Chain A
């Protein structure tokens, strides 16, 4: 029997053309490709910030993929969750890698989302007509927080158990809705196995569904309205405005960055499967409600600025509990942040809003560093 001769390039190209034609006939791909070719991306000094949205999206896709793989072996429940994570780490082929990438990717996702959000804020990319893009973006960040908080409990280890207890306790101080919300989330008065089941359901079903829906709206808005450009770029005559085609030039750049981020993820996962410094997730001991709370309970780094603030507040501020003042304060600040496009409506941008945003960023960084020092 003679060996099969390799297919000539012309034949391969012909097969590709035929497949495209078959799909085009049914899906009208031509209009999509034409639209993509027509779409351009502004080129200016701040173009680099455009890529962080794409990186956040890529890391979300990594989360979905690794999360699905972890679900194959993870078994929720107070008697099985910790053991199944142990099993994933010790027995499942490349289980350690999947878990490490899931954990690292979650942290990098939050980091990229923060960078993306502040670059949008300081570039005033939220201005008309992109108010809703900003709102959906902030909602996506809040959903990412919820992902991080609910996922932290799932290994059912000592640190996660007590950190969840402290975190949900804070929720309980909110007047009127605090207690019912706490009971609903915990499945009772205390953090128990029921809480684990609820957090698992929220983490793998509720949040992904909501995130996907909001993400589709966010991406649709970006596609519909195009990339926001600095006011200076927009004020230049059309002939002087530099742009690049979205497809393939910008998309290939995005892809290049995604590939590099993937490599960074791989390096981090192999070098530090359980993280290091503020990014640390040791499995440790199994959760035990009757054990004394371990020393050094602290939240994930992205909650640290809030945790540190609440720690510094006195027990009472006037007639009100200090913790309540802190929780309500953060709630109101979040609401203002969400509504920034409607607060800053002046054509040139409010200097007060810009400086306030700078102060918020400086405060978050300072409190986070303080929390770890």
Chain B
């Protein structure tokens, strides 16, 4: 009797649990009673991929249905009634009208505060300042709008690696148009920006996943207010991250000289898009070097300064390499050199500082930092040599110990033979 009562209670609890679980919305599941979703789910057109929307789109995850953007009455199964413009049906926006279509919500602070309070609401204002926005206003339907960068029904959060605006995807997203000769021909723009960027120190850093905070297209050109940096602004754009380089360059004599020549500060030596990893080789008077564009190897103050900076940087770099080699050798021989290797960080840091100091174009300042680094590197090399000396001492000690042990073993052996 008791058992039967308990099993009945168990069934009831199980049934209620199943009902409750069944009532919960499941991600990717098309909601019941939404006539928009039900009809469009039967369509083969990828633009109406309702299942994908409910599976991945950030709006669907926030609980927004088709009608929330496109209007209409999703409760009606009658086509004329559910898509009645008089009843608020907006349908699909035109390409030219897309920014305003999205901005209905995204530029509404009250609405955004409720659903995504961390999100900015100035996208449309910024977009209108961008070249894309200008062209859109001029009636160019080919100009990029929200959906070209973010997608339409498969918009993922930027933090997701598969999002079109994830740092590792941005260059590809921009390249969809900017690497397309047919599209860019109309605007007289080149199409090598993405290819160059992908080879750059920034591009490699992002694509390898080593540092996703490395700049990609939107970090220099802006997100919604996308504009190419001008000659004047490139200095500020690069300086946003390379603060010390910017300060040193700003206070150097070179800035006025470059400004007079109309040369964009950073870009003059480092280029744009295809910004390769800088090296000491850039400081050179060889005919194909940057410096040789203006300076000859004539013993002038400028050329001497270039050579002095290069020499001190090379010297410190070589000292660091010598230290690394000595430490590798000691480690390979079984010596514990982790602490000594840690000490190499200081002179390595000095090399970074000295390379930065080059942007002040003062040889003495670079030499001073390199000198400090050189002294620190020398002490590491000395310690590494000490580890190698210690290794040799160990070997000698082992030889002596082996000799003594062997002599003792031989004596024992002789004794055993005598006893036998």
Q: Do A and B come from one complex?
A: yes
Q: Mark A254-270, 1 if CB is under 8 A from B, else 0.
A: 01100110110011001
A-B contact pairs, 15 of them (CB 8 A): A86-B339, A90-B336, A97-B394, A249-B416, A252-B412, A252-B416, A255-B412, A256-B409, A256-B416, A259-B408, A263-B406, A263-B409, A266-B405, A267-B402, A273-B336
B258 within 8 A of A: no
Q: Note all chain B residues with C-beta closer than 8 A to A271.
A: 334
B419 within 8 A of A: yes
Q: Note all chain A residues with C-beta closer than 8 A to B292.
A: none
Contact A86 B416 (CB under 8 A): no
A311 within 8 A of B: no
Q: Note all chain A residues with C-beta closer than 8 A to B339.
A: 86, 90
B119 within 8 A of A: no
Q: Note all chain A residues with C-beta closer than 8 A to B394.
A: 97, 270
Question: Residue of B at shortest CB range from A95?
Answer: B336
Question: Residue of B at shortest CB range from A99?
Answer: B336
**Smallest distance from the beta carbon of A195 to chain B beta carbons, Å?**
24
* 5 tightest Cβ-Cβ pairs between the two chains A and B: A89-B336, A270-B398, A263-B405, A256-B412, A273-B334
* Residues of B near any A CB (own CB < 8 A): 334-336, 338-339, 394-395, 397-398, 401-402, 405-406, 408-409, 412-413, 415-416, 419-420
Q: Note all chain A residues with C-beta closer than 8 A to B405.
A: 259-260, 262-263, 266
Q: A252-B412, A259-B409, A266-B402 are in contact. List 11 more A-B contacts (CB 8 A).
A: A90-B336, A249-B420, A255-B412, A259-B405, A260-B405, A270-B395, A270-B397, A270-B398, A272-B334, A273-B334, A273-B335
Question: Residue of B at shortest CB range from A273?
Answer: B334
**Smallest distance from the beta carbon of B28 to chain A beta carbons, Å?**
27
Contact A266 B398 (CB under 8 A): yes
A283 within 8 A of B: yes
A253 within 8 A of B: yes
In the complex, which of the residues A260, A266, A273 contacts B401, with contact meaning CB atoms closer than 8 Å? A266
Q: Note all chain B residues with C-beta closer than 8 A to A314.
A: none
A74 within 8 A of B: no
Question: Residue of A at shortest CB range from B339?
Answer: A90
How far apart are the CA atoms of A253 and B414 in the complex, in Å?
11
A248 within 8 A of B: yes
Contact B336 A283 (CB under 8 A): yes
Contact A259 B334 (CB under 8 A): no
Question: Residue of A at shortest CB range from B406?
Answer: A263
How far apart are the CA atoms of A253 and B412 in the complex, in Å?
8
Interface-centre pick from A89, A256, A260 (highest chain B CB count, 10 A):
A256
Contact B398 A267 (CB under 8 A): yes
A96 within 8 A of B: yes
How far apart are the CA atoms of A181 and B416 in the complex, in Å?
51
Contact B398 A252 (CB under 8 A): no
Question: Residue of A at shortest CB range from B408?
Answer: A259
